[in-house]
Amino acid sequence: MANRRVRVTVPIPKSSGNTSPASNTSSTTSTTSPTPPSSPFLPTPLETVLVAIYPGTLVLGSLFSILNSTTRNTPYSATTQSHPAALAPSYFARKSNVFNQYFVKLGWFWTTLAFVLFLFSHSSLGPPRQPTAPTPRRLRAAARYVLVTTWWLLITQWCFGPPIIDRGFRFTGGQCELVYADTARAEAGRAAMSDARQLLTNAACKAVGGTWKGGYDISGHVFLLILGSGMLWMEMLPAVIRAEGLREERRVRLRDGAVRSAAAVAVETDDRAAAAGNVPVPPARDLGLGGKVALAVTALSWWMLLMTAAYFHTWFEKFTGLIVAFAGLYVVYFLPRAFPPLRDVLGMPGV
């Protein structure tokens, strides 16, 4: 009998739907969003974009002043840090324009107004039915405002005498130059100049008809516009994130050294408040009146920052105004994330 070959077919079981570890890893990697920065010292991606708007605006305005033929060919006075009013290449290039006179020169008033409205009207800072209740979040927000305002005062108004801007101007060789029409008064003015150079601030020099010249001057407009609008943005940003359903990516360092999400810390804070019998802070649904006013102030601040960059000050004057403003914002809004004792006093917006 001839040998018969028999073919045996072994059935292969159908896949149960499980994937290999490699494919699992690949799937997880492809669907997981980027990990938030591990260091509490670093801004989140959204904060990085927000912060980058300021130097980007200064660069944009400065490039416009170079590339625009009308602005480039208009005389510029280093003493007044502006174009002559009669030859100004734009309405916004005149110091007398209405936005400069009633918004920028009163900038901290508008910043304060927007902050106070947000502080007492937004539900993320306390019960909406008790807008003036001194909740912990409102008290810490007020402490942040006081600290930022103190920085503004020291730089532009008073620092145990002349403000830091004026001290820096005099330190770099600046002085108040008194100009008189007749020779006798000019001689008397020169004799008293040694005292005047040391005692007069920029405002006092202008008040007596002098000219502040010869030194290096930080751009006060750039400093003010960035500091004020930056503070409002940092206070509003957590509310915007919650209202839009975005993920909280700020990181904070706890007392035991662990780094956690600010959202987890906020939940624990609300749970402790509820356990103590206090009403937890409700989630914010929108920006409310205070937030809308703050947005309007920040929008106008951005526009005036662009106009300042295009028509006033030198590159270095604008750059130092930016750095000094950022220094104040960093101390108030970033350092508390890494230092729990400082966070106990200043808190964090939204936490």
Instruction: Decide if 313 is catalytic.
Output: yes
- Single-letter residue type at 229: S
List Cα–Cα distances, 52 to 55, 322, 326, 335, in angstroms.
6, 11, 11, 19
Residue 79 CB contacts under 8 Å (≥ 6 apart), including other chains: 211, 212, 213
Helix (H) or strand (E) holding 41: none
- Single-letter residue type at 129: R
Within 32-106, where are the H helices?
45-67, 69-72, 98-99
Q: ∠334-223-197 over CA atoms, to 5°? A: 125
At residue 77, the 3 state secondary structure works out as: strand
Unique residue bearing structure tokens 């004026």: 166
Contact 82, 309 (CB under 8 A): no
Task: Say which of 94, 221, 242, 318 is annotated catalytic.
Answer: 221
**E-assigned strand segments in 217-256:** 251-253
The whole-angstrom separation of Cα 79 and Cα 94 is 15
Task: Say which of 140, 242, 250, 313 is annotated catalytic.
Answer: 313
**E-assigned strand segments in the chain:** 175-177, 211-213, 251-253, 259-261
The whole-angstrom separation of Cα 51 and Cα 152 is 19
Question: Annotated catalytic sites, by residue?
Answer: 221, 313
